[in-house]
């Protein structure tokens, strides 16, 4: 049976939790970079330097037929630049799978947003709630979330992904252990760090995390110190995990994706084993 080691660029802690539930035979490795949360998932080389509208960028991607109204029922600041939205979903037929995004329709904003879902499908099933984590940018939907969105604001959502979710997606690979490499400017910008540390404690030896910070100016708290390295994720960090059965998933802004993709190529990782999300 194939052994899958996976680098995943993802800010969704339920991915790690889900991986831990199916760890009997395989392992996962995760690399991520904190940045915006709107994306189009792709596999290949980034060729275009022109920034495209979300709907244009994802025009050929799968979308569900269901468009649901949703009401904002919670707004919290995850970091100085990222807000988490809790959305009460009106349509009972609205569903999603981990790794999918939503088209985000705002009545008074003509531009449609595209944001990764940062909550688990289980939360939607149990409570009818979906969560998004959105970084503050000048992009109209993100700007609206940070400057105008309030409790009880109403929006509409539609789920999309690369080709349409299929059971058994991933050619039968199952993840056994998860090793996460997660880079940000400083520890205050490391989203979901408490969730990640909690998962590490819940699944010792099965989930591990290496935080990297590139512009840390304050003292790192004792809880994080054992897990934090100052400096970028390097070739030395990644090359020790190379094997013929490794799948690598990267997530971050285009320059980071290009840099890590080139690094992986330099250490002998086949291009067809590298997957990433193409961000704004």
In order of 41, 169, 274, the CA distances from 243 in angstroms are 24, 21, 13
Q: Evaluate if residue 168 carries a pLDDT over 70.
A: no
SS3 (DSSP) at 205: coil
Helix, strand, coil percent content, the chain, rounded in steps of 5: 25, 35, 40
Q: What is the pLDDT, as a whole number, of residue 59?
A: 85
Q: What are the strands, taking DSSP E only, across 26-123? A: 28-33, 39-42, 62-77, 82-89, 101-106, 109-116
Contact residues for 200 (Cβ-Cβ < 8 A; gap 6+):
207, 208, 209
- Per residue in 11-49, pLDDT (tens digit) is 344 445 444 443 334 455 667 765 533 333 334 444 445
**pLDDT range class, residue 230, cuts 50, 70, 90:** very high
The answer to whether the beta carbons of residues 96 and 159 sit under 8 Å apart is yes
Q: Evaluate if residue 119 carries a pLDDT over 50.
A: yes
Q: Evaluate if residue 55 carries a pLDDT over 90.
A: no
The CA angle 240-179-237, to the nearest 5 degrees, is: 35
Q: Evaluate if residue 10 carries a pLDDT over 90.
A: no
pTM strictly above 0.75: no
Structure tokens at 205: 């030896």
- Per residue in 61-99, pLDDT (tens digit) is 889 999 999 999 999 999 889 999 999 999 999 999 988
107-113: average pLDDT: 95
The answer to whether the beta carbons of residues 175 and 192 sit under 8 Å apart is no
């Amino acid at each position: 049976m194939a052994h899958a080691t996976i680098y995943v660029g993802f800010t969704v802690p339920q991915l790690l939790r889900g991986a831990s539930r199916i760890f009997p035979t395989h392992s996962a490795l995760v690399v991520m970079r904190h940045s915006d949360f709107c994306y189009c998932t792709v596999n290949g080389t980034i060729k275009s330097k022109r920034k495209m509208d979300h709907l244009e960028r994802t025009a050929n991607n799968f979308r569900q037929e269901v468009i649901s109204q949703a009401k904002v029922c919670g707004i919290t600041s995850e970091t100085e630049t990222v807000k988490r939205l809790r959305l009460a979903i009106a349509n009972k037929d609205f569903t999603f799978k981990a790794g999918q995004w939503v088209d985000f329709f705002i009545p008074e904003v003509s531009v449609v947003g595209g944001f990764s879902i940062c909550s688990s499908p289980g939360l939607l099933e149990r409570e009818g709630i979906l969560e998004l984590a959105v970084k503050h940018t000048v992009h109209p939907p993100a700007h609206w979330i940070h400057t105008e969105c309030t409790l009880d604001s109403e929006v509409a959502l539609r789920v999309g992904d690369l080709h349409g979710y299929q059971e058994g997606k991933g050619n039968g690979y199952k993840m056994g252990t998860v090793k996460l490499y997660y880079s940000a400017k400083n520890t205050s910008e490391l989203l979901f760090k408490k969730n990640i540390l909690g998962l590490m404690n819940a699944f010792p030896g099965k989930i591990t995390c290496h935080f990297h910070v590139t512009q840390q100016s304050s003292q790192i708290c004792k809880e994080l110190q054992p897990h934090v390295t100052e400096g970028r994720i390097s070739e030395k960090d990644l090359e020790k995990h190379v094997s013929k059965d490794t799948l690598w998933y990267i997530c971050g802004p285009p320059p980071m994706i290009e840099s890590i993709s080139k690094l992986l190529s330099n250490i002998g990782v086949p291009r067809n084993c590298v997957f990433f999300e193409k961000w704004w």
